[in-house]
Amino acid sequence: MQLEARDIGFRYGDGPWLFQGVNLTLKPGEVVGIKGPSGQGKTTFCRILAGFETPIEGEVLLNGASLPLNGYHLVQMVLQHPEKAINPKWKMHKILNEGYQPDKALLELLGIEQEWLARWPNELSGGELQRFCVARALGPDTRFLIADEMTTMLDAITQAQIWQALIEIAKKREMGIIVVTHETRLMQRLCQRVLDFNDFSGDKNKK
């Protein structure tokens, strides 16, 4: 099982290329970082890997086959702003059970308290909401997780707690992780290798 991006290129309409020629292979148990300045298309590339966007060039393969575009996905993505990924009209227990029903052990590992399940999203902090987003992404079939600036908006203690739990889960499941962050120390601590988006800038790859 592996997630593979082959010669991915993307632009909006007839505009300039956001990036071109991006190649990446992620295997179970690997943690790979993606770095680069804001505006170079890191989030767009992650959305392509997760099946939310279609590349203009290249293809994404999951275990050698085209990425499925419906059903519960083996590739999950956690965004920087949890409030944008959560329905404000649903209580937390409904949000959490939208895709599957996580067990108590997972909730405890992520620091999710049982009393939070009966609350509305606006009754929780950003860190508490992000714990729910991580739990929701860790379904039993998830094999690859994309963390796009997942803990940037959180305090240092919450960041450490979430990453510690996630890495522990990833090791047990042999789950591959992509880490997008501007925090160099975090990337150095977590990642076995790093993809630098400066190498795929549209300005450097004009045809």
- The confidence score (pLDDT) of residue 159 equals 86
The total number of structural domains in the chain stands at 1
Sheet-wide strand order for 19-26: 19-26, 3-10, 57-62, 65-66
- The confidence score (pLDDT) of residue 6 equals 95
Angle in degrees, 0-180, between the axes of helices 126-137 and 156-173, rounded to the nearest 10: 10
CATH code, 113: 3.40.50.300
What CA–CA distances, in Å, run from 45 to 22, 40, 129? 9, 9, 24
77 residue type, one letter? M
- The confidence score (pLDDT) of residue 203 equals 54
Q: What pTM was computed for the model?
A: 0.89
Enclosing domain of residue 29 = 3-204
* CA 76/CA 61 separation, integer angstroms: 15
- The confidence score (pLDDT) of residue 72 equals 57
**Averaged pLDDT, groups of 10, the chain, 207 residues long:** 94 92 94 90 93 93 79 82 91 89 89 94 93 91 92 84 89 94 88 90 54
